[in-house]
Each structure stands twice: as C-alpha cells, then as structure tokens.
A and B are shown apart, each in its own frame.
Chain A
Amino acid sequence: MFPRPIEHQSRSIQISYQVLVPIALILWLLPLIGVAVTSVKPASDLAAGNYFGMPSSLALSNYADVFTNSPIGQYIWNSFKVTIPTVIGTLVLSCLTGFALGIYKFRSNVWIFFMFVAGNFVPFQILMVPVRDMTVNLGLYNTTTGLVLFHVAFQTGFCTLFMRNFIRALPRELIEAARVEGVSEIQIFWYVVLPLMKPAIAALAVLIFTFIWNDYFWATVLTTSKETQPVTAGLYSLNGQWIAQWQLVSAGAIIAALPPVAMFFLMQRHFIAGLTLGAVK
C-alpha cells in the first residue's frame, strides 16, 4: 500500500492524521457549506450583515419560498422528463451496440468502435448549429423530446465504449458453449450476456443520470420556456431574477443539486466503478 499505512506509524502521527482529515474536508467543502448555511438564513440576517455566523433562526421558509414563488417545481419535473427517458434509451442502444462490438469479429468492427469513441471526445459545440437546426425542422425545438433524442445519441458513444469493454472481459467459453448447444444468437444476448451485464447497466444508469441532470449547454440551446427547461437552465434565469437574494439563490441551487447527490450516495459503488473504468489495467 502506498503511502505507508498509518497504523505502522507512531500514535501521535495517527492522531494528528485523524484530526487533519476532517479539517481538510471542511476547507475543501467550505464554499458548499457556506451556501448550505446561507440557504437556511432568514433574509433579515443577510440584511443585518450576518453573512458567516449561524442563522438567527432556521428559515426553511426560503425553500418554501423558492417552490411557491418560482417555477422550480416545474423545472425539476422537466429535468426528470429529460433524464429518465435518456437513461433508458441510451442503455437500450448501448447494450445492443456493445454486444455486437464485444462478441463478434467482423471487418468493420474496429472502425465502428472508434467512430463511437472519437465522436464521444468531440467538443459538442461543433454540433450545436446543425443539431439545433435539425431539431427545429423536426418540430421538436423547445420540447423535452428534442433534448432526449440528442442526449440519447450523444451518450451512446460513451456507453458503447463502456459496454463493449465490459462484454469483452466476460468469459467467452459461456458463449461458445451456448452456441454448441444450438442456442440462437438473440437468445445468447437475452439469456446469457444480458444477465451478466447488470453491474455495467447499473453503473451507466447512475452516470448518465448525473451527466444529463447536470447538462446545461444543450438545455439552453434546445429549450427556451419554463414549460420545457430543465432545472440547470431554469436556475440561470432565476439567478437573474433573484439578484442579491442569496438565500433564495442558495436554496434553489441546493434543490437542483439534490437528485444527483441522492443518486450518488445511494449507488456510490456503481457510480465510482463507472467513472474509473480504465483507471486500472
């Protein structure tokens, strides 16, 4: 293990380490803690110059205010309407492509694989004008459907890479044995490979959920009204309306951050497994 395990060090080093870690954590999260505290401060505290002290009373009313006086509930709902279909669509497509590229040997395999990989690295700004134009022409501009279609397509690149590498690592004998038994290819996919892909599916589901929930660029490019905009784009316009009302901005920011955070803490192991794929040989 590197660095040398702390258990082998002197008692005083161990204690100072255990003191140091929480301090470092507080410093690291200081901006976030500040915003969290601000979000429960009554407006009068801020007016009176109490910026850093404890709130004089716990003003959960800020959260209620955000929900009643702004369309944030609608924004959150829109985010779900974009995120969940995208997760499902991407997983379906990439299970198929990953299976095809991971199991079969055919001439164009490597080329198709690298098309997905390369497309995934592209600065997506280069897609903006054509994709926006196409979405307008399809009559899907300013709809959640338009946003979902694009996200599904773009995320399929990354997910194909992930799925294909995952399937490659499965024992090939399983598939060979099934073929000898006369099982059809489609049954192999459905009954042999798909059940083994559960960890990959779980990891990608959380990752895609977080990526799409947090997307801001495409939300601003493809949607414009509060009936369709996800919460990231919504926060931008609310921030414009709530000038200097930091207790509201903070509460809104915390609300918008909660779903992916909850997702992360619930499915932490899968999340990190997905993110660090390829970090170890």
Chain B
Amino acid sequence: MSLASTETHSRSWWRENQQKLTPYIFLIPGVIFFLVYVIIPIFESFWLSAYSWDGLGEKEFIGMANYAELFDDEAFYTSLKNNVIWLVLYLLAIPAGLGIAIFLNQKVPGMRAYKSLFFFPFVISQVVVGLIFAWFYAPGFGLFYMIIEKVTGSEIAILADERFATYGIIVAGLWPQIAYCMILYLTGLNAVDPEQIEAARLDGAKSFKMLWYIILPQLRPATFLAMVVTVIGALRSFDLVSIMTDGGPYGSTRVLSFYMYEQALSEYGYRMGYGASVAVVLFLIMMVFISGFIWKMVGDERKGL
C-alpha cells in the first residue's frame, strides 16, 4: 500500500518536472563523452606543455622551458612558415570553387552526373589523394613530371626538391578542397533569388557587376562556411605531409601539426611535453580564427531568437 503510494507520488513528481529534467538526462552521455575526450584534453595539453615527459616515466616540471626552446628551434619556424603558406594558398580554393560552380550551374542533360564527378576528389581519403599526387609528380614517369620536362626541358622532382615540395603538397590538398567549396557554392547558387537577378538584368547589369553586387552578397552564408572549412583544413593539414614526404626533404615540408606529432612520438624518444607546446601554439593560432567564427555564429543566433 505505502509502496504503491510512493510510486504514484514519484510518478507525479516526475510528471510535473519532466520538462525541466529531460534535457539534462538527454545531455548527460554526450556531454560526458565530449568533456572527457575533447574539452579536458585541451587543458591537459596546456598543463603538459610545462613538463618534460617521455610518456612513461615521471613528469618533470620545467615551467616555460619548452616554449623557450621553441623560440630557438629552426624546425619550429620552418613549420610555422609552411603553415602560413598553406593558409594563404588554401584560401584560393574559395574563388576556384566559386569559378567551377558558376561554370557548372547550368541545366543541361547529364549535369547532375558531371557535378558529382567534379565533387569526387573530396570523397576519397587524403591518404589516397596523397598517393595519387605522389604518382603524378614521380620523377621519371609521373604525368606532371613529364609535362614539365616537355615544356621547360628541365627535370624537376617536385617532392624531393626543397624549393617546391611544400607547394606540391598544397596543390594536392587544394584538389579536394576546391571540390568542397564548389559544392557549397552550387548549393548557394541554387537558392539565389531569381527575381533580383531579373531586376538587375533589366537595369542592364552585366556578368561581372551582376556577380559582385547581386550574386555574391546572396552567397554570403556559403562563403562563410567555405572560409571556415578552408582555414581549419589548412591548419589541420597532416595527412598529405605524412604520406607524400614525411616532412622531408630535410624537414622542409613540416607543418606544425606534423612537427608536434614528430616530436611527441619521435623515434629518438618521446617528447610529449615539447609536442604539447607545439600543439598549444597551433591551438592559439586557431583560436584567433575560431573566436571570429564563433562570434559571428553567436550574432546570427541572437538575431534568430
């Protein structure tokens, strides 16, 4: 009897409060996972960067010594410089993607198939992209190598040449990135308001003016998204460097993410603390962009509410 009454009591308590409690119950598993694997490790990395640690033994507190070492580390500057090159050249994916999208935005039989084939490079793994381009550049028989040899008469092994290796890798990275930006713009172009275009046409706006004053402003959400994924892609770049050159020749193609991996899990002994300090620098660079992006998203969110 009393058992039944507590049950009905707790039931009605639940019924009254369920709207308040449900969201928390639904959030618990996801939030715990995300905290444990993503949020807390960010802080842990900051903390670890003040230690000298081989991954197994005792951690030794060394304060800012890792950062002081970075300051004089030639390889660190090479990586930093390469990241800047990556970032600048990667942004070319946005206009290139827009160009292809405009080129393909027609209603011709079979166009759908063409669009998905143009998008193809994005679907395959960066490891495969890296191998494809390694073949493309391969000295002696690579297609690109042969073309360069025919045109200029000089033999250039792109990936073995310190002057060109980084650019060779970036071109490989641009291939899927352009495809991604293209698909964003194709979707955006689909949603452009036809009435505005007609109105502008009646006013005599010609193609470039039309693009600049009428189309691009309407494509702003697509451009924002393309910007976000391109910046993140450029700063995260790791796969292609690892596959195509493994950081070489003579470490000239390292980027920060690759250098941190190399230091933390190097074959000459693990330097987890030093690796973490490289990661912290990368994180801080990224923070500049992230906070910009989030700022804009918060603004949009406020407007939306």
Bound complex: CA A254 to CA B120 (Å): 13
Chain A residue with the shortest CB-CB distance to B14 = A184
Cross-chain contact of B135 among A3, A38, A94, A115 (Cβ < 8 A): A38
Bound complex: CA A213 to CA B191 (Å): 31
Bound complex: CA A126 to CA B239 (Å): 16
B275–A2 contact, CB under 8 A?
Answer: no
A133–B184 contact, CB under 8 A?
Answer: no
A131 on the interface (CB 8 Å rule)? yes
A63 on the interface (CB 8 Å rule)? no
A249 on the interface (CB 8 Å rule)? yes
Binds B, one of A66-74, A100-108, A195-203: A100-108
B61 on the interface (CB 8 Å rule)? no
Known: A21-B104, A22-B114, A123-B235. 4 other contacts (CB 8 A): A114-B297, A134-B41, A217-B261, A261-B124
A residues near B194, Cβ cutoff 8 Å: 1
B242–A220 contact, CB under 8 A?
Answer: yes
Bound complex: CA A112 to CA B28 (Å): 11
Bound complex: CA A153 to CA B261 (Å): 21
A281 on the interface (CB 8 Å rule)? yes
Interface residue tally of chain A, by bracket? Answer: 35 or more
Given A133-B55, A276-B183, residue A216 in contact with residue B242 (CB < 8 A): yes
A residues near B114, Cβ cutoff 8 Å: 21-22, 25
A115–B282 contact, CB under 8 A?
Answer: no
Do most interface residues of chain A lie in helix, strand or loop, or is the interface mixed?
helix
A232–B127 contact, CB under 8 A?
Answer: yes
B266 on the interface (CB 8 Å rule)? no
A97–B31 contact, CB under 8 A?
Answer: yes
Interface residue tally of chain B, by bracket? Answer: 35 or more
B residues near A221, Cβ cutoff 8 Å: 261, 265
Bound complex: CA A235 to CA B126 (Å): 11
B64 on the interface (CB 8 Å rule)? no
Cross-chain contact of A236 among B242, B264, B293 (Cβ < 8 A): B242
Nearest CB of chain B from residue A205's CB, rounded to whole Å: 15
A24 on the interface (CB 8 Å rule)? yes
> In residues 216-242 of chain B, which contact A (Cβ within 8 Å)?
221-222, 225, 228, 232, 235-236, 238-239, 242
B160 on the interface (CB 8 Å rule)? no
B residues near A1, Cβ cutoff 8 Å: 105, 107, 189, 192, 194, 197
B27–A117 contact, CB under 8 A?
Answer: no
A156–B183 contact, CB under 8 A?
Answer: no
Chain B residue with the shortest CB-CB distance to A160 = B30
